[in-house]
Structure 1
Amino acid sequence: MLRLAVALSLAAAPALAQTTLRIGIGADPNVLDPAQSGSFVERVVFSALCDKLVDVAPDLSFRPELATAWEWAPDGRALTLTLRDGARFQDGSPVDAAAVKANLDRYRTARESRRRSELRPVSDVVVVDPRTVRLVLSEPFAPLLSVLSDRAGMMLAPSVLPMAERIGENPVCSGPYRLTRRVAQDRIEMERFAGHWNAANFHFDRVTFLPLPDNTVRLLNLRGGQLDLIERVSPSDIPAIERDRRLRMVSGPSIAYQTLQFNLGNGPLGSRPIGANARVREAFELSIDRAIINQVALEGRFTPNNQAEAPGTPYYFSDLAPPARDPARARRILREAGFDRVAVTIRVPNAPVDAQVAEIIQSMAAEGGFDVKLEVTEASTAVAAVERGDFEGFIGIWSGRPDPDGNIAFWLASDGFLNRGKYLNPQLDRLFEQARAVTAVPERQRLYREATRIWLADRPMLILYHHRWFWAMRADLQGFESAPDGIIRLAGLRIGR
């Protein structure tokens, strides 16, 4: 009721001048520092705030952003980037090779950086000249461009780098909009950066992101004229949006997936049965049916899946499909493992769809011998708890990456920044390392198939389904382009028919 009251209050407020684009997002970002960031919604906000060295096109190819060209060394042990002439940070300083080196050195060495594992093969960053920087590698590293198209490629002004503990309060980047005000759990306000290299292609003077976890509340504010664009539309709301002539919906394929991660060794809760015993996790998987989750909670619009890559893509393996639901077998496995029933608590972000998915899992798992308790909290609160090991299971989203390494190793490698459950498997680590060092697709397929076989048996997490992206917006908002990574790119957006 409180969230609905807030929404109605917003709907009654006077409309902002239409030089402001108002975007409803599904959660409040935790930290606005690319080095420390770990959530999807932060990437949505960063798209306005921080340019990257390279961007990802709708076809998942790489396209220029701060770097206009790149070239691999013949032996694959160096990548040379040519930087954009005239690009500047929001404090007026140039985006030059020295600034890029300072950022990459922080990402790969700073204590607070979660990017260290992503950039581990980078042994040195060399300033060749003001517009040329060379990344020297200790070994060939096929995912490097993919890494540089995400947070490890976001450049901050060198003036703020010495203040590491405060960067998240006032990040100074090189993106098209600069931060002017943030009110936690309420709004993030930005204004257009006139010195941006592509400023002419950004048509709003200001952008405001409003975190509204409830899908219904986001849609209510869009229909009431208090928002112009919302992300992650609930599948159940799609028919109503399609009937509303004031609104327009855009959908597109997604590389994102939903996962249920378990705590295997992150503090005392990792010793609970679900984390300590792979047989218990096997029983849990046999208790659930991904197709039922898709039909009941997602209107059948998503893709049930147990792997990090979507069906039909080069690194999906059809012979490793999920087992059929079998609650009787699940109960038998629990008894063989020494349990009658197993209690497990699952943390869930306070988004209605996530909560409904969790409730369906709770109901199905009960038939397999599990007593599931759900703890539904605000998304950043849930993530913070998971990172400190205060969880047994956690339902979360991964927005996906163009390279398969970024879709699974971040979660399951021993040094992966999303390996919050502290899963350790040296054999899997070796396979990931070998796959990063080769570019030939058949060899990488062989290595990732073996890696997939291992982690599917260990079950440190259960992938539940692949998303499809749905955005809703006012009918006269033009220029929106669907992206498989789910990021809202503001270039070209304007009001007009």
Structure 2
Amino acid sequence: MRSRSSLLIPALLAIGLVSGAAGARGATVLTVGLAGDPGVLDPAQSGNFIDRNVFAALCDKLIDTDAEMNYVPQLATSWEWSEDRRTLTLRLRDGVQFQDGTRFDAAAVKVNLDRFKTMPRSVRRAELAALERVEVVDPLTVRLQLSVPYGPLLAVLADRSGMMLSPTAIQQQGEAIAQRPVCAGPFAFTERVAQDRIVVDRFPGYWNAAAITIDRIIYRPITDSTVRLVNLQSGQLQIADQLAPTDVPAVQANPRLHFARHVAAAYRTLQFNVAHGPRADTPLGRDPRLRQALEKAIDREAINQVVFNGLFVPSNQTEAPGSRYWNPDHPVRGVDLAGARALLQQAGVSRSSFTLSLANSPIDAQIGEVIQAMAREAGFEVKLQQIESNAGNQQNLAGEFDAALLTWSGRSDPDANLSIWMACNGPFNFGHYCNPRMDALLTEARSLSEPSSRIPLYRQVVDLYRADMPQIILYHYTWLWGLSERVEGFVPNADGLIRPQGLKLRPQ
């Protein structure tokens, strides 16, 4: 096994080479340690959360979200729904240009949205399925015509489907634009060295240039959280993304560092196989009482304290406790072993055994072991199966699992946090749970745009999945960042993204 220092030295050398060259020009260079290497830098093809941190510097969106996931203007200054909720009209910001000098206008929006819908490799097609056509009303007005009312469209446009690439660059580069993306954001792409760095430089023609004071950002993929911490402590990083909870005390104890946090929309869940092939034909898969009993045996706060140093948020719903769509009728309760055993008895089961599939990471192993010990006290025998992520995904798609510990990075619209798992045709509904009443409620909620009208429907949805228990939601993440004392103006957001607007870096 390599020592910590052997992992650290290459990271320090590479950072020094790049930032040293920029520093010689007197540039202000911010170096960010990411938890992994971003994927494809094309909004149409991107599917990884980490990509979005780089996109936050490269590509402005039609709509953005603030720290609490409320929608705010970005490339679109305002938007308006038609009375039947089948037309969304966007008013665009004047005077915006892409990083190659191409003008941003309604025609550019049409080019991008049409590309997202028709490009063979686009992973945006499903989320834009309701978009029937894009109409250019005038240079600064675009009208989106939908086949059905679809309130979650705002959340879609506040993510990668709302990121605009230069039509000129699209025409010249095609799918190869991922190698050198050209957007309308505050920083322009400079270079990428796989597994080592992504470098972006300030775009002087940015429409909101006054909000940008940093000249260069270097994104460093450093998968080992301990190595990210050591680089932060040494001053080679100014921001360490996704701190491990166990590293937070070291940051808090260092007078040259700061710690920032925000409860995340992201959450972890135990999904059960209830109707997908022979593995579902078990007491746990057939009878919701067993799944309810297992939940009663799990002490979420104990998991939080043991695994996450008390920094995460115990949760039993797809929306974070206390947030807009959280259902207060279902508070997070502590362990209830007597209740768990009573439910097993009602189901005519003295003991139940199943396999819990986990990612092959130390954190998942620890979570699994804690759940295993808790469940044993109620009468469950849990076998842990750690498996590589891609292999685990294939296993889940094939229905070759009893229960699986899964992750969702979270979105600003409740539909995106629910339908993926619990709609009958949800793309991540690996266990084939299907409740027609829930599908009807989700469809009705999508047809509305006002939260006051949607909240009662989603509360009914929570009632249903809390009764059927197709999965046990365990906790919401807390985004954790370590910051150099030189960093000013950092605003932690619920989506976990590092936005460069307003960020400042004091001289050393």
Separation (CA, whole Å) in 1 of partners of 2:2 and 2:429: 35
1:496 positional shift: 0.9
Residue of structure 2 aligned with 1:244, choices 251, 254, 259: 254
Separation (CA, whole Å) in 2 of partners of 1:397 and 1:55: 23
Question: After superposition, where does 1:291-370 map in structure 2 within 5 Å?
Answer: 291-321=301-331, 325-326=335-336, 329=340, 333=344, 341-348=352-359, 350=361, 352-367=362-377, 368-370=379-381
Residue of structure 2 aligned with 1:480, choices 468, 486, 490: 490
Query: Comparing 436-445 with 220-229, which one deviates more in the overlay?
Result: 436-445
Aligned residue in 1 for 2:8:
8
Separation (CA, whole Å) in 2 of partners of 1:376 and 1:330: 30
1:420 positional shift: 5.1
What TM-score comes out, normalization by structure 2 length? 0.84
SS of equivalent to 2:200: strand
Q: Does 1:371 align with 2:368?
A: no
1:87 positional shift: 2.2
* 1:209-243 residue CA offsets vs partner (Å, 9 max, x unmatched): 22233322211111122211012223332222122
Aligned residue in 2 for 1:60:
69
Instruction: Tell me if the contact between 1:348 and 1:354 (Cα under 8 Å) persists in the aligned partners.
Output: yes
Separation (CA, whole Å) in 1 of partners of 2:33 and 2:52: 14
For structure 1, the 5+ residue unaligned runs are: none
Instruction: Tell me if the contact between 2:130 and 2:146 (Cα under 8 Å) persists in the aligned partners.
Output: yes
* 1:240-280 residue CA offsets vs partner (Å, 9 max, x unmatched): 212211111122343332233445677x7965759854545
Decide whether aligned partners of structure 1 residues 389 and 321 sit closer, same or farther in structure 2, where only a CA change above 3 A counts: farther
Question: After superposition, where does 1:383-402 map in structure 2 within 5 Å?
Answer: 385=394, 389=398, 392=401, 393-402=403-412
Decide whether aligned partners of structure 1 residues 263 and 127 sit closer, same or farther in structure 2, where only a CA change above 3 A counts: farther
Structure having the higher Rg: 2
Instruction: Tell me if the contact between 1:331 and 1:369 (Cα under 8 Å) persists in the aligned partners.
Output: no
SS of equivalent to 1:364: helix
1:285 positional shift: 2.8
Aligned residue in 1 for 2:79:
70
Q: What is the one-letter code of the residue matched to 1:8? A: L
Instruction: Tell me if the contact between 1:262 and 1:274 (Cα under 8 Å) persists in the aligned partners.
Output: no
Aligned residue in 2 for 1:79:
88
Decide whether aligned partners of structure 1 residues 79 and 300 sit closer, same or farther in structure 2, where only a CA change above 3 A counts: same
Aligned residue in 1 for 2:245:
235
Separation (CA, whole Å) in 2 of partners of 1:445 and 1:337: 37
Separation (CA, whole Å) in 1 of partners of 2:384 and 2:5: 28
* 1:408-440 residue CA offsets vs partner (Å, 9 max, x unmatched): 223333454544555444332221110122245
* 1:458-478 residue CA offsets vs partner (Å, 9 max, x unmatched): 333321112333211111111
Question: After superposition, where does 1:169-184 map in structure 2 within 5 Å?
Answer: 169-184=179-194
Q: Does 1:427 align with 2:437?
A: yes
Identity %: 43
Q: Does 1:142 align with 2:147?
A: no
Q: What is the one-letter code of the residue matched to 2:303? A: I
Query: Comparing 278-287 with 309-318, which one deviates more in the overlay?
Result: 278-287
1:448 positional shift: 0.9
Query: Comparing 162-171 with 176-185, which one deviates more in the overlay?
Result: 162-171
1:354 positional shift: 4.5
Decide whether aligned partners of structure 1 residues 265 and 286 sit closer, same or farther in structure 2, where only a CA change above 3 A counts: same
1:54 positional shift: 0.9
Separation (CA, whole Å) in 1 of partners of 2:404 and 2:99: 37
Q: What is the one-letter code of the residue matched to 1:208? A: I
Q: What is the one-letter code of the residue matched to 1:288? A: I
SS of equivalent to 1:24: strand
Question: After superposition, where does 1:113-152 map in structure 2 within 5 Å?
Answer: 113-152=122-161
Instruction: Tell me if the contact between 1:97 and 1:133 (Cα under 8 Å) persists in the aligned partners.
Output: yes
What TM-score comes out, normalization by structure 1 length? 0.86
Residue of structure 1 aligned with 2:467, choices 454, 457, 480: 457
Query: Comparing 145-154 with 404-413, which one deviates more in the overlay?
Result: 404-413
Q: How many residues align?
A: 493
1:170 positional shift: 4.1
* 1:439-458 residue CA offsets vs partner (Å, 9 max, x unmatched): 45454222112212222333
Residue of structure 1 aligned with 2:201, choices 191, 194, 197: 191
Q: What is the one-letter code of the residue matched to 1:347? A: L
Instruction: Tell me if the contact between 1:248 and 1:473 (Cα under 8 Å) persists in the aligned partners.
Output: yes
SS of equivalent to 1:317: coil
SS of equivalent to 2:258: strand
Q: Does 1:24 align with 2:33?
A: yes
Query: Comparing 466-475 with 434-443, which one deviates more in the overlay?
Result: 434-443
Instruction: Tell me if the contact between 1:121 and 1:138 (Cα under 8 Å) persists in the aligned partners.
Output: yes
Separation (CA, whole Å) in 2 of partners of 1:33 and 1:194: 22
Q: What is the one-letter code of the residue matched to 1:33? A: D
Separation (CA, whole Å) in 2 of partners of 1:210 and 1:384: 27
Q: Does 1:226 align with 2:236?
A: yes
SS of equivalent to 1:318: coil
Query: Comparing 61-70 with 420-429, which one deviates more in the overlay?
Result: 420-429
Instruction: Tell me if the contact between 1:304 and 1:465 (Cα under 8 Å) persists in the aligned partners.
Output: yes
Aligned residue in 2 for 1:89:
98
Q: What is the one-letter code of the residue matched to 1:76? A: R
Instruction: Tell me if the contact between 2:275 and 2:281 (Cα under 8 Å) persists in the aligned partners.
Output: no
Separation (CA, whole Å) in 1 of partners of 2:194 and 2:274: 32
Decide whether aligned partners of structure 1 residues 390 and 430 sit closer, same or farther in structure 2, where only a CA change above 3 A counts: closer
1:374 positional shift: 4.0
Instruction: Tell me if the contact between 2:399 and 2:430 (Cα under 8 Å) persists in the aligned partners.
Output: no
Separation (CA, whole Å) in 2 of partners of 1:425 and 1:214: 41
Instruction: Tell me if the contact between 2:263 and 2:313 (Cα under 8 Å) persists in the aligned partners.
Output: no
Aligned residue in 2 for 1:158:
167
Separation (CA, whole Å) in 2 of partners of 1:52 and 1:206: 21
Q: Does 1:50 align with 2:56?
A: no
Q: What is the one-letter code of the residue matched to 2:93? A: R
Query: Comparing 368-377 with 209-218, which one deviates more in the overlay?
Result: 368-377
Separation (CA, whole Å) in 1 of partners of 2:119 and 2:53: 24
* 1:266-302 residue CA offsets vs partner (Å, 9 max, x unmatched): 7x79657598545454454344221111121122232
Query: Comparing 111-120 with 60-69, which one deviates more in the overlay?
Result: 111-120
